[in-house]
């Protein structure tokens, strides 16, 4: 499935947003720092399925090197998007049939789902959870034949450096798959 060919449709950040949530997202962006997390969490309490808030929180955790928190948020993004495009609850159960069905709902949300899965896979690699990270990236590659999401490169780097895999600071050391 080529995840690049799509017609114009609204993106997640173009959807109508509660003014209170919008104000909190803007506040978090303008005052980036430790307080941003609390502001985004307040926005999430208002609407736990708001993709702008979830992705903002994911980015916050990513740039703070809080990878476990980032993985949790990536899974929340997949849960929210998966329900909207009728994907199976577990990413491991996604098939090409699931993708084709999802595309009838929203091409952009199917792409977003796979970007979130790639993000979770990447963070698992950063935490030296190589088996889980590899499985996630392999699922993305299997569903994205033209590699538009870009997961294949991460697998190639992992394979190329199999013997030399080093854990990132704070990650537990394991042997690569």
pLDDT per residue as tens digits for the range 6-29? 555 555 556 778 999 999 999 999
Query: What mean pLDDT value characterizes the chain?
Result: 88
**Higher pLDDT pick, 173 / 128:** 128
**Helix, strand or coil, per DSSP, at residue 32:** coil
pLDDT per residue as tens digits for the range 40-71? 999 999 999 999 999 999 999 999 999 999 99
* CB-based contact 1:144 (threshold 8 Å): yes
| Residue 121 tokens, joined | 């896979």
Rounded to two decimals, what is the model's pTM?
0.85
């Amino acid at each position: 499935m080529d995840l690049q060919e799509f017609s114009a449709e609204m993106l997640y950040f173009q959807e109508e947003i509660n003014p209170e949530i919008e104000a909190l997202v803007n506040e978090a962006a303008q005052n980036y720092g430790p307080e941003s997390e609390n502001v985004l969490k307040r926005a999430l309490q208002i609407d736990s399925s708001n993709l702008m808030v979830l992705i903002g929180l994911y980015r916050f955790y990513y740039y703070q090197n809080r990878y476990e928190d980032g993985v949790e948020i990536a899974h929340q993004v997949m849960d929210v998007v998966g329900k909207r495009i009728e994907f199976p609850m577990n990413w491991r159960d996604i098939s090409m049939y699931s993708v084709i069905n999802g595309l009838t709902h929203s091409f952009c949300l199917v792409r977003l789902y796979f970007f979130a899965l790639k993000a979770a896979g990447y963070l698992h690699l950063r935490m030296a959870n190589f088996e889980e990270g590899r499985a996630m990236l392999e699922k993305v590659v299997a569903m994205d034949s033209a590699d538009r999401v870009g997961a294949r490169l991460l697998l190639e780097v992992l394979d190329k450096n199999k013997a030399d895999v080093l854990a990132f600071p704070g990650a537990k050391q394991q042997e690569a798959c």
